[in-house]
Amino acid sequence: MTTHAEPATEPPVSEAADTDDEVTTDPGWFRKAVVYQIYPRSFADSNGDGIGDLPGIISKLDYLQKLGVDVVWLSPIYTSPQDDNGYDISNYRDVDPLFGTLADLKKLTDGLHSRGMKLVMDLVVNHTSDEHPWFVESRSSKDNPKRDWYWWRPPRENPEAGPGSGAEPNNWGSAFSGPAWEFDQVTGEYYLHLFSRKQPDLNWENPEVRAAVYEMMNWWLDRGVDGFRMDVINFISKDTSLPDGLKAEGMLFGDGSPHFMSGPRIHEFLHEMHLEVFAGRDKPLLTVGEMPGVTVEDAVLFTDPARREVDMVFQFEHVALDQEDGNKWRPRKLRLTDLKQSLGRWQEGLAERGWNSLYWGNHDQARAVSRFGDDGQYRELSAKMLAGILHLHRGTPYVYQGEELGMTNMSFGAISDYRDIEVLNHHREATTHLGHTDAEVLAALAPLNRDNARTPVQWDASRHGGFTTGAPWIAVNPNTSHVNAAEQVDNPDSVFSFYRKVIALRHSEPVVADGDFTMLLPDDEHVYAFRRSLLGPASASGAGATPGVQLLVLGNFSGEDRTVELDGGGWGDAEAGAAELELGHYPAELILGNYPHDGAGTHDTVTLRPWELKVFRRQHNN
């Protein structure tokens, strides 16, 4: 068995099975769509128990409709012991009582559909909960029919350690600290868990596992769900020899990722999933593959429509740039040139085939305005600038709940203020085994921990931000007194209103969804600049193409004025007075900005104020 297969260069297509796969009327609908992610336990609580729920979400559907989003991605609401806040599923076909009932979910689905929005469910099938009936059976005996539904291995011979203590089958570490193996006393073997010990990995090599997963997915689609965001889906194919990983200096465990990220059969499995679940359905659906460690080259294969695997990837390259060696507990200052190089490479790599997700934050990332902007003096301006820069790239943008309000990171005091298993496990390991002090670990945790994104949505300035009438499961950010939805929804100058404008621009301007992307000023450490271009359609009279459209997008990632030279991007003859840039006989108008326009600039320059965004539009000859 090879340790890591190269991605297939030809789609693993069954010709007979694919004949009815073009039923949907608009397979590219998601190019001009915007996705809004809801983390249910932190969105809105309807019953005062301090945990967000489905009725709470239903009560905010008009808010989402006003924002203008097209798709709601719902983080897991399935039955779960909540070891990892729902990403440990014990029943795929029911709603956890914390969040409501199947009837509530049906009401939510219908409410979204009636408002022109779709519902995408978070799907976690790399692993289950250890309380799922499949695993309960699997661990009951070595000869149980479901034993091979998970990864079981005997202890490795180790004269210095007995079973359950240093005899793990390999040296892999868990993403949540500690070894990736847990010893089971009943059968005397270890099971693999790439995440929590309560999240055993499913064995996708077993066709019965795949069939059960596909049956469950079909069940949800039959109930009206519009697709899935699939958690760490590129982990489902593993090198079956499970070899040791390289162990870096100072680390307790080896890195197993080369042996389970985008493994030998991943394309086969995803194509099979497409055929068994999505092919031939009569409405547009969405499949999003969350894929840590995925490369641009792999993403082209995963998202090429002809290969029929997933519609888009959710990758992490740009959110690892402010970390030493990809270690989130060793944060460093982000260089804008690194961000441009990364995002630009993805734009170029998927220009001809494939599709990418665009995001600054989600439930696993720190708050966007605190991480990439300025959450102090320029919070509102930088939140707006970040929205414009991200949403005008090529790809499908995602808005994480509260991002549209400019919500910020939380200041946690003691480790007892945190709730995230990743944080708690790391703190214990770092203070117990790695020799760090409590103060050192807390300082390292602060910027990028996941609980920053999991504080409740701030609906108003009341106690607990209008999230709950009870005691919230995690503290509400005190700045809800001035950062909240009630202050913003009807304010035309708010962050919320700016997000509405940016979302509407994607809906109304084909160049945003379909245009080419050209990075400008790649070496500038303060200004992010790019051009979008879309050729005009051919004239009906046969006299040639009609003029196309270009956008020039400029964003200042600093708290100081910055002057931009326009000629390098083909805008050099422009006249930057009032709200227009003249170029030849085609006028270029300022169509979006986060400051009142004051006419600053000359015929070949534009001056950007702190955290300023300017978007110009013009027609151009093809």
561: domain CATH number is 2.60.40.1180
The two three-digit tokens of residue 51, written as one number: 């945990």
Per-residue pLDDT, 23: 37
Q: Does residue 549 lie in a domain region?
A: yes
pLDDT digits (tens, 9 = 90+) for 377-408: 999 999 999 999 999 999 999 999 999 999 99
At 505, the pLDDT band (50, 70, 90 cuts) reads: very high
Q: Rounded to whole angstroms, what are the CA distances from 313 to 115, 228, 309, 366, 508?
A: 27, 12, 10, 20, 24
* pLDDT at residue 17 is higher than 80: no
Tokens of 72: 């709601």
From the list 316, 334, 327, the residue with the least C-alpha distance to 434 is: 327
Assign 546 a pLDDT band (cuts: 50, 70, 90). Answer: low
> What pLDDT does 327 receive?
84
- pLDDT over 70 at 20, yes or no: no
Domain contains 339: no
Catalytic position from the list 189, 290, 322, 375: 290
Minimum mean pLDDT range among 346-360, 447-461, 514-528, 559-573:
559-573
Within this chain, do residues 523 and 614 fall inside the same structural domain, yes or no? Answer: yes
User: Does 25 have pLDDT greater than 60?
Assistant: no
> Is 96 inside a domain boundary?
no
| Of the candidate ranges 56-60, 354-358, 544-548, the one whose mean pLDDT is the lowest | 544-548
Asked whether residue 19 is domain-assigned, the answer is no
290: annotated active-site residue: yes
In a domain, 599, yes or no: yes
The mean-pLDDT minimum among 11-20, 60-69, 215-224, 499-508 falls in 11-20
Which pair of structure tokens corresponds to residue 218?
């079909």
Where is the domain boundary, 183, 201, 219?
201
pTM for the whole thing?
0.89
Give the pLDDT score at 9. 37
Residue 438 lies in a domain: yes
Q: How far from 107 is each of 11, 54, 91, 528, CA to CA, in Å? A: 39, 9, 20, 43
Please give the tally of structural domains in the chain: 3
Question: CA 13: distance to chain centroid?
Answer: 28
* Same-domain check for residues 521 and 616: yes
Pick the catalytic residue: 70, 104, 231, 298? 231
Q: How far apart are CA 11 and CA 271, in angstroms?
A: 8
Q: What angle do the packed helices 438-445 and 421-432 form, to 10 degrees? A: 150
Q: Would residue 325 show up in a list of annotated catalytic residues for this protein?
A: no
In a domain, 550, yes or no: yes
Which band of pLDDT confidence, cut at 50, 70 and 90, is reported for residue 22? Answer: very low
Q: How far apart are CA 172 and CA 169, in angstroms?
A: 9
For range 175-187, the mean pLDDT: 93
CATH of the domain at 151: 3.90.400.10
**Residue ranges making up the domain that contains 159:** 129-201
Whether 519 and 432 map to the same domain: the answer is no
> Considering 201, 227, 246, which residue would you say is the last residue of a domain?
201
Residue 3 predicted with pLDDT over 50: no
